[in-house]
Amino acid sequence: MNSIKKRLTSLITGMIVISLTGCSFSSTDKSAPDVSVSPTPSNSISTSKNNPNKVSENNTNESTQNQSIELKSSSIPTPTPTATPTPKITPKITPQPVKAENTDIETVTVTIYHIDDQCSTLVPKKIAVPKNNSLEAAIGKVLEEVNSGDFDLVGYRVNVNQKSGLATVDLRLSPDSQRKIVSLSNCEQFAIFGSIRKTLTGNKQWKVKDIRFTEKGKEIYL
């Protein structure tokens, strides 16, 4: 009887120990990390690790693509910059003051004569001429009034002999003049030669007593 109790006690004790041991395993399993839930490495990484040749091939393809892009970029023509036209600068023109006639030239007043409208008498007219060549300037003013389109005087020369008082007036007629001195009417001759004669003798400061007319050195007979 005692042996049966001992066996039962041993059996019960063993069952309790087994039961406690099972609980211990159960709690241990719950606290242990779940190894099966570990993340699966990506296919690309595993593929790269498992197949290094494929990685090299990918790198080669990428290099080829980069070279292709560089070639395409170099083949694109670089746009030539359009030349910007240089603005034309127009220089500013400053108006120059008009030079006034030299008023420092010493002048004298002389009397010239010209024919009236009826061609009957000579009319006096006072003008100012340069003092150093007053005689020549006065004759020039007289000839300006008698010059016409068909009778064209282009020059003259006056020479006065101070001893005798004889003034020689040499006239130069244009080669293209339609009329000659010999073809002038009495009124026209009086307008030219009469005005010159009266102008030279009427201004006493020149001391002219007589006048002689020539054309290119040849004497003119009136």
Per-residue pLDDT of 114-154, as tens digits, reads: 999 999 999 999 999 999 999 999 999 999 888 777 888 88
| Cβ contact 207:200 at 8 Å | no
Q: Is 122 left (phi over 0), alpha (psi -120 to 50) or beta?
A: beta
**Global pTM exceeds 0.95:** no
Per-residue pLDDT at 95: 45
Name 169's Cβ contacts closer than 8 Å, sequence gap at least 6: 139, 156, 157, 158, 196, 200, 211, 212, 213, 214
pLDDT at 179 over 70: yes
Which residue ranges form the domains of the chain, and what is each CATH number? 107-219 (3.30.70)
pLDDT at 169 over 90: yes
| Cβ contact 214:172 at 8 Å | no
Q: pLDDT tens digits for 186-195?
A: 999 999 999 9
Q: pLDDT tens digits for 50-62?
A: 444 444 455 555 5
Count of helices and strands (H, E) across the chain: 6, 6
Per-residue pLDDT at 164: 96
Summarize the confidence of residues 147-165 as an average pLDDT: 89
- CA dihedral of residues 28, 33, 37, 43 (deg, nearest 10): -140
pLDDT at 171 over 70: yes
Question: What phi, psi does 48 have (nearest 5°)?
Answer: -65, -40
Q: pLDDT tens digits for 9-25?
A: 667 776 766 666 555 44
Q: Tell which wins on pLDDT, 64 or 200.
A: 200
| Cβ contact 139:199 at 8 Å | yes
Which helix H or strand E contains 60, and what residues bound it?
Answer: helix 52-75
If you average pLDDT over every residue of the chain, what do you get?
74
